[in-house]
Copies of this chain bind each other. A is one copy, B any other.
Amino acid sequence: MIQPAADCSRIKEFINSRDLYAVHNGISVSEIGPGYATARMTMADHMRNGLGMLHGGALFGLADVAFAAASNSHGTMAVGISASMTFVKAATGGMITAEARETSLGPKIATYAITVTDEAGETLATFQGMVYRKKDRIELPPEIPAD
């Protein structure tokens, strides 16, 4: 039996256990609230490009998970339709954090600004994303396994 989402924290748990891309790439949602989320990853070898630096795809993936968490935090499904990213500083290692804040919330369209920072708080990248909001409620399984 499937239950409707009761609160943001279950969406966080759902992403952290069921989003196989996030799990495979070492990304997890750490905070979530209405229109807000943070996601984190610790820089690992499988995130590096051929020159040993953090890959643009890994940075985008982290920001995208924060974007998905924030945009689905209202309990109805949000589907990403566009995203743009600027790469401002090469990462040198450690914990990388993406913080997503809602910049507009309409009945069909919502937008988010995500900032990606390193442990020193330096901005590595900025990300702007737009979602199409469906009317469907997010259906979560009754029990979420601990991650």
Contacts and interface: CB of A to CB of B under 8 A. Distances in A.
Interface in A16-41: 18-25
Contacts of A24: 24-25, 46-47
Nearest to A63: B57
A45 interface: yes
A126 interface: yes
Contacts of A65: 57
The copy count of this chain in the complex is 4
Interface in A90-147: 103-104, 106, 109-111, 113, 115, 123, 126, 128, 130
A43 to B, nearest CB: 11
Contacts of A64: 55-57, 60
Interface of A: 14-15, 18-25, 45-50, 55-58, 60-62, 64-65, 68, 79-89, 103-104, 106, 109-111, 113, 115, 123, 126, 128, 130
